[in-house]
Chains A and B, each alone.
Chain A
Amino acid sequence: GNSVTQMEGPVTLSEEAFLTINCTYTATGYPSLFWYVQYPGEGLQLLLKATKADDKGSNKGFEATYRKETTSFHLEKGSVQVSDSAVYFCALSDRGFQKLVFGTGTRLLVSP
């Protein structure tokens, strides 16, 4: 079945450091890929998405590229801020009824 694997956290960075959170997936066919962010006590918010190979999703300085050859969708940001501290989830959906399959989440902690 479909699955998503994320790097374990927490990831601890200083403000303005470069961020990478690794995500790889296993899926049949050609899924859509997503990054969601969850702030403490809140639901999930879509951060970015990509729907086909080589697409790059971007939002709020975050980027991720859909790499079919390596089945990866790594999240990057050039300069993190304290306000980026949250849990980040990588997810995929198939082309049918769009059930989302999530990774286990990676907690990011950014210190001033």
Chain B
Amino acid sequence: EAEVAQSPRYKITEKSQAVAFWCDPISGHATLYWYRQILGQGPELLVQFQDESVVDDSQLPKDRFSAERLKGVDSTLKIQPAELGDSAMYLCASTLTGTGQETQYFGPGTRLLVL
């Protein structure tokens, strides 16, 4: 069964350092989402891509976060510099076309701890 891949699974860093997370969606899925899940809360959308284009980054803290999906396949989310409040689980999800009532398939997530 096809799955969304994410790496690393765990990341510990010190504040002010740069970190990067990688996501490979299910093959053929045009829409890719990055969510942030703070402990004890539900995930919140950071950025949504349709192919290589950003369609929603309204909740992305653009002063320190960046995301790209250059060839419309895999994606990288970067934080520079990391802050203590960035400690969270970062989840990637994908859907085939991103419209209608499609199911979003989630990866296992990257758990970030900022010290």
Contacts and interface: CB of A to CB of B under 8 A. Distances in A.
Interface of A: 4, 32, 34, 36, 42-46, 49, 51, 89, 91, 93, 95-100, 102-105
9 contacts: A43-B4, A43-B107, A89-B43, A97-B55, A99-B33, A100-B93, A100-B104, A102-B44, A103-B42
B45 A49 contact: no
Q: Give 6 nearest A-B pairs by CB, closest first.
A: A102-B42, A43-B106, A51-B101, A44-B106, A32-B101, A43-B108
Nearest to A99: B45
Interface of B: 4, 6, 31, 33, 35, 40-45, 48, 50, 55-56, 91, 93, 95, 98-109
A99 B104 CA distance: 10
Contacts, number: 66
A49 B103 contact: yes
A72 B107 CA distance: 28
Contact of A97 (B43, B50, B103, B105): B50
A93 B42 contact: no
B41 A104 contact: yes
Nearest to B42: A102
B91 A93 contact: no
Contacts of A32: 101
